[in-house]
Structure formats: C-alpha cells, structure tokens
Structure 1
C-alpha cells in the first residue's frame, strides 16, 4: 500500500495507490451528479493577446430568429423538491432517446425509512420530458450505486436492483425489462447482489453477479432463474465470446487474497464445467486479447506480472521490473496489439514511474516514457486521443518538481512537448513556453471540471483545459482546442467549462463552470471552437452539476443538469435539454467537406508526409466554415495507402531505451541484472530495435544494427556460478555433439511412441509456484464505474475480500 501526498500547485491529494490492471475514463453510459463540489483554485492568467484573439471577432450575438428557434426547442424539467442529493443517469442504447434518472435519498440505517428512498424517471425523447415511473416498481428503494444496468441489443434490456437492507427475505429483488423500461417484471432472488449485474458481451440474456456471501450466480434466461455455480468468488470478468474468468479463495479467508493465494478459474459453458488456469495468483485483469495475473513467486519477493493471449491456456512472465510493497503496476491502455504499462518508481512517495510499451504478445516491454506522473486513487493523466490514430497525451514530473505535458503521435515511440497556441503569449517569467493540459489529477482535485475530450468520429478534434508556460499551473485554467489531433492548439474559452462534442464534431457546446453563482447560458460553436455564440436557455439561473449527452457523438441534444431552490427554499433538481437539430437544419453535402491528410506537416518529404505506423490516412472531414449537420447516419470516410518503412516505424527493443541526448536506442544500464532468468530460457537476439506493434509499413528497411546488442542482453548469462572460460573451438565442438545426441534421442522417442515432436520448440506452459507475502494490502484496485465497464473494456473491481471456495 502506498499513501501519497501530492502537491499539485495549490492542491494536495492524499490517497492510496495500488496495482491497477485497468486505467480509463468513466463509463460514458452512466453519469452521476451530486450537489457537493470542491472549492475553486486560485486564479492566474495566461496572456491572450488582443491582436491574435480572432475568435472574439466572430462572436456576434445570436440573431433573434435563431434565439427564438432554440427557445422553442428548449425543454426544462423541475424534479420533486424532496428528491435525493444525487442523480444517476443511464442511457438505454444509442439512438433510442431513452434515459433513466435515479434519484436517491440515503439516510442512517437506524432511521424510520430503513436506508432511504428513491425515485425513478424515464425519458424517451432525449431528456426533453421525464416521467416518474416509480409506481411501475411499487416505489421500491433502488440501490444508489448500481440500481440501473442497461444492456445491448434490440429490444433494449434493462435491470433494476433493489436495496432491501432490512427485509426478512433470504434474497434481494430485481426488476427486468426487455422493452427499455416500458414494462418491468419483478424477480425475487435467492441471494443479495453485492455489485451490478453484468450482461454477457454476446447475448444479454446471460447474466452474472457476485452475492454478498461471495457466491457466483448465473442466469441464462435474463434473470428469471438463477443458479449458484461457485462459492468463495473474489472477482470475475467476461472474456471473449461467452468465456467467464473468476478468482476464488481456496480456504475462504480474507487473508488469502492478501497473501496471493487465489486461484484463477475459467468456464466456457456458463458454469457447467470449470478449468483452473492459474494458482496462487494475487489478482487478475482482462483487457482486449490480454489476460493478466499479478503474483509473488516466493515469500517476501516483489510482485511480477504474467500474461496470456490465448484466454488463459498458457501464461508467460512479462519482462518488466518487479514491484515491491512500495510500488504498483497499472495498465494505462491496451488493444489487440499492444499494452502500455506503468511501473511505479522504487522508493517511498516518488509520485512517478516509467511507462513501458509491450510487443504484440504482451511479454517483452521497452521503456516508452520516464518520470510519468501517477498518484491519487489510480489517477493517471495518460489519455488516448481517439480522434486520431496513434496519439497519446500525458504529464511527467520533472526532477525540479515541475509537471509538464507531453504527447506522442506514434503509440509511445517518441514523446514531445506540446506547442504553444498561436493566440496565446507566454507569461513574462516563463523560461520555457509550452501548452500543458490538465488530466485526471486536476479533475480529481477540483482544478478542472472535465478531462480532455475527443471522439473517434470527430477526426482530429481535441478539447481540454490547460495553461501556457514552463509547467502546468493549478490556477484557474482556460479551454484549448486542437483540430489536428494535438499538433497545434488554439485558446478558445477563458476559464473552466463543461463541454461536449456533438454531431460528430460539427457542434461543440460549453457551459461555464461556476460554484459561486447560478448559470443561465450555454455557448456553442459550429467551427471546432474558433467562434462561439451564446444562448440564454432559462430565465431562472441554477447551480450547474454537469452536462449529459448520449454516449455516441452523433446526437445534437444536450442536457444541462443542476439545482436551484424551490418556493420552500429547498434544493430542487433541474434538467434543461436543448435540441440543436432544429438550428442546423441543412444536411451537409459534398461541398461541405474537404480532403485532409492526417499527421501531415506539409513540409517533409511528400513520399513520407503523413505516414504513421506504416500507412497514410486521408479523411473526408467537415470544412471549418460549413454550418451544416453531419447527422446520425454520418460515417467517417477514409482512404489508406501504405508507406515505406523508416526509422519512425521502429521503437527501442526490450533492454534498450531512447536516450534524450542520443539519436539511437541504447542498452539500459544494469539491464543484465534484471533479466538473468529470462536470458537463461530464451535466446534473445536483437538489433536494439523492433517494429511498433500494429505497424504496416512496407519494404526491407532496418534500423542500424547494434552489433553488441545480443552480447549486452544475454551473452554473459549462464546457469552456473562458474566463471571458467571455454575456448570458442571447444565450445563449438561441444555444441555440435550435444545437438547430435539430442537429435538421436528425439528420433528414438519418435520411433518408440509414434508421437511427433517439434525440435527446438519450448513448452509454453508455466508452473505457478506457491506464493506468500507479508501482511500488506496489495490488491489490484481499479477506478471503475458501478456496472464494471470502463473505457470500452470489461473490468473487475478487485478488493481484499476473499471467501470460501466450493470443493
């Protein structure tokens, strides 16, 4: 366990950081608002020069016609004054317009209300109107953390989980709906759910959940009937197809989870049969095609990572630095080809570590970024810019204590500082001048209301809070926008805002974040943040809680949630939904789009201009001045063409790193001491470089060969402590004779057993040893949403609770 006190400008964070196999954003389908807030930070201003503030020249007032048009499509809903202190919004699918709002009042357990009360609202017009449907579930008190779970498919499946803390029933109660909440069916359970019910990734009628007594329960008919398939289950997650992974304790004690004595099991037939695929694990995670386990191989040893890419059939040890009790691991991002792994720096409270990038198997890792900032409840600023391929943004902690932003355009192969926006001058005292973007640390500490935002269909568009100078500042930040995936930036709004990307980037909306007074206006831009217009959406200002829009970026409806005092001076929740579709009525045509080459700097060699990860991508994107509607049917149009291989298609191989003062990959200092066990089992030959996973370049180009690379890595490693040198000629003769004897044995074995054996192929199986550790809290901890989905990946929330395993 690691306690962190991170001084971030004028903000301090005090939190626990542990292993985290998944780092990501909040679940876009579920949003929770509350009436609590953090204080404003001190204010410091970047210099926005008047002669360069071109965006103010086009901020003309909204015409009377447009204002009246928007007013006629603005819908305000005031909820009951006695509604709860928190609202949870859940969308039922994309493009359905169906939203559920759960309002919850939680009170002390010994009160008359037995835990609290809740109201359930439903909208089927994108939040323009809400209807109280609490009567449809007999006004049952729903769980405030995981009361609503929405699945996929058509019709839309929805499950409500009741909170029944004082009932005499042996189990809880759920309400199921296969028509997106028009009707509900009550189901009495034999158990009490301990978390959100999770849908199968392939078929929503298959459900799984853990009970409060650590039983694993499965349903094959959308919750009508349940069967307990295992006991003593710690965590679980869906794998590919209908594979289910779960960890369980062999002796039913909580300490087993802390000692790394869990077993990892797998079922492919919904609990009818089980396979034990790993023993004595500490924790596990599943991301993309990778299955992870964290283990301690012997008493008092640091933790190490094992990875499987065949759903647990075989595991191999990841070649990463081990993590002691004062360190942690975190998977920052992963897909089918590659993993970004953060390894905390050794020592107490360092607040930074090293980002490693894996090979395609997730086994060999090389340094991608040093002094990567990480702390505070698994909060990392590592951000995947989804609007442009291969782009990642994060922050580093420099030796002097300054926090600076860096960006990579080739999947972590190279990192660079962000360019200063054209319309912003540097502070007078800045020795260095770059743009620095606030991430999860700033959001968690209350410096910014939102993290950077991008959408896959809004090509090149990035919007986020930042500051200009020699390092990031905790002063009141401004909003910046990039149209080319982070290469160039533009100062667009002063002060912190809530913002949202709509209509696949054709529309951006923003509302000023104020805690000292109510808000009544929204800003919107149809030219990717260059110009803004303001619309007053209410005559009765209210305190802003946040914005809510459909999970996809194709919608043109935005809901503004907040609260004001009612006639009895009690806080009352308010929702205002604005439909911009009636303002931008013209559908975009061919003349509204332009051809754009991504990753182009327009000055390099035309043959390689725009080449990234082996190919060019040319997009058909909306012109800046085209005020039209992409629409729900908009599909990103792109053309790809291959590129010849260059040095940009390669990254440093395992055991090498890109030194800032060098133009080549250099061997890592003391690397041999960290990899002896690996070298004893693998003949690792390398030039010091490897192609970036997923790179599709063509040609026979190879980086300059480092002739000493293999010698540096494994050339001096032997399995004996003897240092006697053998002459090369004798050594060669021994090798030849040994190979001859081995081949004779193999041939004989083949003739006797009639089994085919592949010479030189090592067994991929790994035997896990018994693991023991000290009494420290070292479990995997994920920042997760209640329903267990995070940033598109299926995750599990590991904790220290361990229970009895059924024999």
Structure 2
C-alpha cells in the first residue's frame, strides 16, 4: 500500500535471500523482487493499452570521478565478505539512531524432514557497516527463527529481541535474547509460552512488550521481557492505541478456534492489563490509524458487516458514512492522521481493479468523494503515495475507461487532482496526445517492473525520486528515474532505466545503483545537485548480484551500504557488504550563503498574498541551494515560516452528498442525492441542515475570505438516537448525547452518525436504518519492525499494519 502517510520511528531492515532478492525501499519497507506476470497469477487476460514514446531529448549530465576523488573514496570504502556456508538468507537491521550499529542475522535452513537442524550466525558492526564481527557466542549459537526472529525497538531505544526456535513439544516455553545496548550484550530469557508472532514494542515505552502465544493467550511484559503476565485467552489480534491503551479482539468462548468471525469481542485495557472492558461485540475485525479506531461489525447473525469508528479510544462509536456504496464493495484505509482519513471504496464487480477515494471529516465519520476510478489492483496493491517531503502532496494512479493507467497528483490533501507535468528535458512521440509524466507505484513493484517505490523524506524538503515514463499513460516497459525538487510540481528525467536509490544528508546527496536481474554490478552513482549531474564510482573489483541499499534511519547520514552476493567456487553464495563513507568526500560544512529561502507551492514566486497558499497558509523554507556542495550535517533542520492565507473555495472540501465536478472548484450535489434534504438528530428532534455543499478541509488554517453559507432551520420533527449495542460495553452505565446526520427523501431515510457532543445524564435514541458496507484493509503508524525473510514482507504488530483486499486477514 502505498502507505505514504506512515512516519516510522523504528530502525530499518533489509532482507537478503538467494533466489529471492529483497531490495530496500522507502519508509522503510522490505519486498521480494519477484519475476512473474501479474495477469497470469490472477488468471485473467485484461488488454493492456500502454503507450511508450521516444525520449531523445534527454541528455545525461555525467561528470567523471577525478583521481583524487577516487582515491578518497577508495580509502573510505570497506568491504566485508561472509562465507557461503553462513546462510541461505541474511537479515540486516539498523539499531538506534546515530549509533552506527548494524546487526546481520544469517540462517541456514533446516532440511524439510528435520525441523531442528537449522543454524544461525549473528554479526555486529558498530562503525556504520565498515567492519563486522561474529557475535554468535553471545546468543550461545542458538538457532534464531527465520520468520520473526529479530525485532528492534522504536526510535533510539537501542533495544533488540531475538526469538529462538525450540521444539514446542519438548519445552514448556520459548526462549528470547534481549539487548538494551544495540546488541553489544544479550540476556537469555525463558518464556512461559511459545510466541505465535513477533513480539511487539510499545511505540513510546520500549519496556512494554505484547505478544500472542500459539494457544491464543495475550501476554504482557512491563520490564522488557523479564517477567510476563497473561491478560486474556482466545485472542486473535491486538493493537496499541494512544498512550497505554491496548485493544484486542478475542473469542467469547476463550479459544482461537470457536466462532471466530463476526462474533468476536473487542476489548480494551487502559491500565496495562489490570482491568479489561468490552467496547464492541460481534466484531469481524478492527484497526487503529491516526487516532481513529475502526471496527467491522456484524450487527445481526448473517448480516453484512458495517463500519463503526471511534475517535475517543473506544468510549463511543459512530457509523461511518460513505455515500453510494454497496454491500459488494470493500474498503481500504490508504492514509490517515488525527485530522482526516483517505478511504478507498472498491467498485462493484469482479476484477474491476478500481474504485473511489473518499476523504473524511476530522471525526472520521462523514466522507466526501475525492477521486474516481482510483487504481486498486489485485492482491491489494494501491499506488497511493504520500509525498512526505512537502505538506499536502499525494500521488496515485487512475484506471481510465479505455484501459490506460495514468498518474494524478494532489497538492491539497485530495481536494483536487491533476496530471503531472511533462519534464522539459524529455519529449513524447509525434503521435502522442496529452503527454504527461506517469509514476510507477505498488502495482509496478508487484509486477516486477520497478525495484522500489517513490522516495521522499521530511528532512529533504521538496525532494521526490521515482520511476516513471512519459506519454499518455503508464507503461509496462522499462521505466526511468525522475526527480522533483519542488514536491511534484516539476520533474526532471535524471537516470535511464530502473535503479535503487537513497537520500543522504537531508537531500544534499542522493545515490543510486542500477537494477539488474541477470547481471552483476560494481558501481554506484551519486549526485550533489538533486540528480542534475551524476558521478560514478566503482566500489568493488569483483562485481556482485545486487540485493539492497542500506543507510541509517532517516536521511542524516552520509554512509551507504551496498549488499549483495557473488557465487564462490562451489556455487555457494558469498554475501558481501560494501560501505562507502561519502562524508570524507564532501567535507565542507554548509554556511549561511549555501541556503536560500524557498516558498513552497509557489507558482510564480510572486509576493501576492495567495501565492503558495495551500490548506490555508504559506510556508517558506530555508533549504540548501542546488549547486552548493557541502554537508548539511546530522543536526540540520530545515527552518520554516508560516503565514495564514485568506480562505478560498480550495480551502473547502465538498460536503456529505456533494462532489467536486471535473475541472471545476465548485461542489455539486451527487445525482442520487438530488431532492434529498439533510438534517441533524439532536435531543430527539430533527433540525434541517442547509448547506451549499462545502465544509472546511481538516487542518486548514485559512482566515477570512470565502465562507460558504451553512445554517440550521428551525423546523423540527421527532427522531430517535443511535446507541448500537455492539459498540457499547455491557457493563457501561455511561449515557451520551449524540449528534446524528439524517438524509431523507423519496421514501428513504438514512441515518449517519456525525459527532459526539457531550457526556450527559440523558439518552437520545435514533433508529438504525443505514447502508452497510464490506470492510477491508486498515493501516496505521508502525514503530517497531520485525522481518520475515521467507515472505519478504515486514511484520509489525506494535500498531497493526495490514494490506489486503479483504478483511479476512486483519486478525490472523
């Protein structure tokens, strides 16, 4: 998923495996570089209508590395080889922030007929990968699990947990090894249970650990694994909420086998397991993202699932409203924070591969249409990307009616979408109409077309690196690398063919390695001017099959490690790690004259009060000049100044039941809402709501200017209140005054929960007569990372991250 919204505090990991190369990619993610055709996998034969064009206008700027530069880099390039018998797969883990510590876990797979004959080796580097030392003795040469054997704590906690593989039928519990000093020393801990998944860190306090055992028991440790307490049986899934809120879904019969789907209880503990409260019943699955708690609920036996959302950690739930949805559609949360949610709603029909993006209000309840025909391919792959280097920017792809896939971009959090501008240094073919740049995302990664996703980082203001092509649609042919320095407004073709790339020194340096499936590489390219010119350095005399780039979490470092392997004499892989310290080449510290004031989102650089206004305010950054060759340094922070703007129509999103017509800033009523009226149910009476179709975008800070009319009619009629039994604790005596939005007309009545007003001593009841939806993927911020080298995917349970086109896997 494109889960561009994710902001990860934890370390980065790279999975390396022979035959299944897993290159590093953004934020950070771990993927398996597969080489099969997606259409064959899905068993269908959709016609492709990709259009490519010649790009003869591109001229690469290549500057040779001088002899002195080559000598400096040679002196600061360090290669480490790992013998072929070390293992069939490696797991690379960065620990802490600024520690320079890397752990490498190699595992030798056991034969199929022998579960316990595997072995592991553990290596540690404390100098950013320049040298590694075998520290297998510190874990007694124990065989560490391949699926979730190594986990690292959030931020700079320097905590590490290794989970051993032991014979379940011969021991009463498993064994873990814990470290509080970035793997310098380890402590062996005997567990009273066998973990069924990765141990989860609390995102703020790394002493708090949670895990589910093989029998469904939910275990909690408050002292970094020394002591464990089982707080519940029959648990299917859990997620950390805000503070120390812990949510988990469990079977009413206390077993993992009995009556799983649609009859689970959602429970919460707010005091680390001392007391438990049931906050929802008949739960099919749940997720937590951006402060919003979502539940998929079966309100009655055999009924379709409906979505409830809570913004107060489960105290109260309201039914989420998405207009024009059917029971055949699924949902996927694309992105979210405390202000709003991006939700994809699939279009009904078999293998449609597209749907509609809706954006929520600041309560996560009312949703408005943002983008139609949004591409959402098989296996739950969405190209939706949050450009983290500039506020409000999102990229994604749409599937047009003619079968073409095209890229669109929004600079105002989904308020308006537009095509990408064609780069000036590349041309389309003579017969291509509507020539634009198109960016490859998850769909292309999944199909093996590109090695990594678009890359951006908040520290590198405005910088975006991505694979793309020019034409009237995206292509399955070999893409090139494009760079934007202004958050996606303008782009430049910078490298021919697919590459692996990384941002260093807060954007002052970017590096890239060519991506090849069938041949070895021995060179790395680097640029100090946002990709306008590149130099090439041969980092090894013996080429390697590239497996991944690895750098310290964030973009502050100037060290980069290139990992790969080369076959040795007996055809066993020899793993190689090559670390290059570019800090010895770029030695001058940046000074005041190396920086320039840059107005983000500016169209013409004018001093008008509206230029650069996005989401109600202007931002001026102090950032590095493109031609300045110097070091930002680890302490660099791009300073910014914010100025409020007058409100315009662009500061408002379309209200519930309205949408923004194509190529227009006006919000018009959806066809199926014509002749309907909107009202609110408050204190048992309906007050009709008059709206011009606009509501302010969440987090928008504009002042004055355009203000659409919105008022309450005094006409009143009776209504009830909604207090869904499935969303309240059976022991709760709390009563709630509820604000409910009601849409009526043509013999129908639809109730939509809008917001909880206050806690009072009076109950307001509204009858439930609302559309139901199929609920699917949920995602939220992850803070600790565990890795599975066999699947090539990252496993994290600290915040519960899932990506699938069905909610059947949410609570596995």
Give TM class, smaller chain. Answer: 0.7 to 0.9
Paired residue for 1:38, among 34, 52, 62? 34
**Counterparts of 2:496 and 2:267 in 1: how far apart (Å)?**
53
For 2:498, the equivalent position in structure 1 comes to 496
For 2:344, the equivalent position in structure 1 comes to 342
Paired residue for 1:714, among 732, 743, 746? 743
**Counterparts of 2:687 and 2:253 in 1: how far apart (Å)?**
37
Paired residue for 1:272, among 271, 274, 278? 274
**Counterparts of 2:426 and 2:7 in 1: how far apart (Å)?**
29
TM-score (norm 2): 0.84
Rate the CA distance shift 1:478–1:541 in 2: closer, same or farther, 3 A: same
For 1:79, the equivalent position in structure 2 comes to 82
Rate the CA distance shift 1:164–1:780 in 2: closer, same or farther, 3 A: farther
Displacement of 1:631: 0.5
- SS of 1:205 mapped into structure 2: coil
Displacement of 1:301: 3.9
Are the aligned partners of 1:372 and 1:395 in contact in 2 as well (CA < 8 Å)? Answer: yes
For 2:12, the equivalent position in structure 1 comes to 29
For 1:106, the equivalent position in structure 2 comes to 109
Write the deviation string for residues 746-779 of structure 1: whole angstroms up to 9, x where unpaired: xxxxxxxxxx9979x975x99999x999xxx987
Rate the CA distance shift 1:260–1:24 in 2: closer, same or farther, 3 A: farther
Are the aligned partners of 2:235 and 2:254 in contact in 1 as well (CA < 8 Å)? Answer: no
For 2:574, the equivalent position in structure 1 comes to 572
Residues 1:382 and 2:378 are matched in the alignment? no
For 2:734, the equivalent position in structure 1 comes to none
Displacement of 1:101: 1.1
**Counterparts of 1:25 and 1:570 in 2: how far apart (Å)?**
39
**Counterparts of 2:675 and 2:279 in 1: how far apart (Å)?**
30
Rate the CA distance shift 1:44–1:550 in 2: closer, same or farther, 3 A: farther
**Counterparts of 1:383 and 1:91 in 2: how far apart (Å)?**
24
Rate the CA distance shift 1:800–1:549 in 2: closer, same or farther, 3 A: closer
For 1:693, the equivalent position in structure 2 comes to 698
- SS of 2:85 mapped into structure 1: coil
Rate the CA distance shift 1:77–1:22 in 2: closer, same or farther, 3 A: closer
Bigger strand fraction = 2
Write the deviation string for residues 606-645 of structure 1: whole angstroms up to 9, x where unpaired: 1100011111100001001100000101011111111111
Displacement of 1:85: 2.6
Rate the CA distance shift 1:611–1:298 in 2: closer, same or farther, 3 A: same
Paired residue for 2:634, among 628, 632, 635? 632
Are the aligned partners of 2:287 and 2:779 in contact in 1 as well (CA < 8 Å)? Answer: no
Rate the CA distance shift 1:331–1:790 in 2: closer, same or farther, 3 A: farther
Write the deviation string for residues 413-446 of structure 1: whole angstroms up to 9, x where unpaired: 0000000000010023322200000001111111
Rate the CA distance shift 1:48–1:796 in 2: closer, same or farther, 3 A: closer
Displacement of 1:235: 0.5
Displacement of 1:789: 8.2
**Counterparts of 1:799 and 1:514 in 2: how far apart (Å)?**
36
Paired residue for 1:47, among 35, 50, 54? 54
For 1:97, the equivalent position in structure 2 comes to 100
Matches within 5 A, 1:113-124: 114=116, 116-124=118-126
Are the aligned partners of 1:21 and 1:284 in contact in 2 as well (CA < 8 Å)? Answer: no
Are the aligned partners of 2:262 and 2:298 in contact in 1 as well (CA < 8 Å)? Answer: yes
Write the deviation string for residues 378-422 of structure 1: whole angstroms up to 9, x where unpaired: 221100000000000000001111000000000000000000000
**Counterparts of 1:517 and 1:618 in 2: how far apart (Å)?**
45
Q: Which stretch shifts more, 310-319 or 102-111?
A: 102-111
Are the aligned partners of 2:392 and 2:413 in contact in 1 as well (CA < 8 Å)? Answer: yes
Are the aligned partners of 1:118 and 1:142 in contact in 2 as well (CA < 8 Å)? Answer: yes
Rate the CA distance shift 1:209–1:503 in 2: closer, same or farther, 3 A: same
Q: Which stretch shifts more, 220-229 or 470-479?
A: 220-229
Paired residue for 2:537, among 535, 538, 554? 535
Paired residue for 1:68, among 58, 71, 84? 71
Displacement of 1:257: 6.3
Rate the CA distance shift 1:372–1:512 in 2: closer, same or farther, 3 A: same
Are the aligned partners of 1:141 and 1:162 in contact in 2 as well (CA < 8 Å)? Answer: yes
Matches within 5 A, 1:97-496: 97-111=100-114, 114=116, 116-152=118-154, 156-165=158-167, 168-252=170-254, 259-321=261-323, 326-496=328-498
Displacement of 1:23: 8.5
Rate the CA distance shift 1:432–1:254 in 2: closer, same or farther, 3 A: farther
**Counterparts of 1:547 and 1:250 in 2: how far apart (Å)?**
47
**Counterparts of 1:191 and 1:673 in 2: how far apart (Å)?**
61
Write the deviation string for residues 701-726 of structure 1: whole angstroms up to 9, x where unpaired: 21478999x999835377899xxxxx
**Counterparts of 1:588 and 1:161 in 2: how far apart (Å)?**
44
For 2:719, the equivalent position in structure 1 comes to none
Displacement of 1:105: 2.4
- SS of 1:452 mapped into structure 2: coil
- Structure 1: stretches of 5+ with no match in the other structure: 1-16, 722-755
Q: What's the RMSD between the two structures over aligned residues?
A: 3.5
- SS of 2:444 mapped into structure 1: helix
- SS of 2:493 mapped into structure 1: strand
Rate the CA distance shift 1:190–1:253 in 2: closer, same or farther, 3 A: closer
Aligned residue pairs: how many?
Answer: 739
Displacement of 1:240: 1.1
**Counterparts of 1:149 and 1:767 in 2: how far apart (Å)?**
48
**Counterparts of 1:127 and 1:757 in 2: how far apart (Å)?**
56
Are the aligned partners of 2:51 and 2:473 in contact in 1 as well (CA < 8 Å)? Answer: no
TM-score (norm 1): 0.85
Are the aligned partners of 1:683 and 1:714 in contact in 2 as well (CA < 8 Å)? Answer: no
Matches within 5 A, 1:769-788: 786=786
- Structure 2: stretches of 5+ with no match in the other structure: 21-32, 38-47, 717-740, 751-757, 788-792
**Counterparts of 2:169 and 2:133 in 1: how far apart (Å)?**
28
**Counterparts of 2:122 and 2:405 in 1: how far apart (Å)?**
44
**Counterparts of 1:257 and 1:425 in 2: how far apart (Å)?**
60
Matches within 5 A, 1:592-671: 592-602=594-604, 606-660=608-662, 662-671=664-673
Are the aligned partners of 1:587 and 1:631 in contact in 2 as well (CA < 8 Å)? Answer: yes
Are the aligned partners of 2:77 and 2:578 in contact in 1 as well (CA < 8 Å)? Answer: yes
Rate the CA distance shift 1:46–1:578 in 2: closer, same or farther, 3 A: farther
Rate the CA distance shift 1:261–1:766 in 2: closer, same or farther, 3 A: farther
Are the aligned partners of 1:449 and 1:497 in contact in 2 as well (CA < 8 Å)? Answer: yes
Q: Which has the larger radius of gyration?
A: 1
**Counterparts of 2:299 and 2:52 in 1: how far apart (Å)?**
52
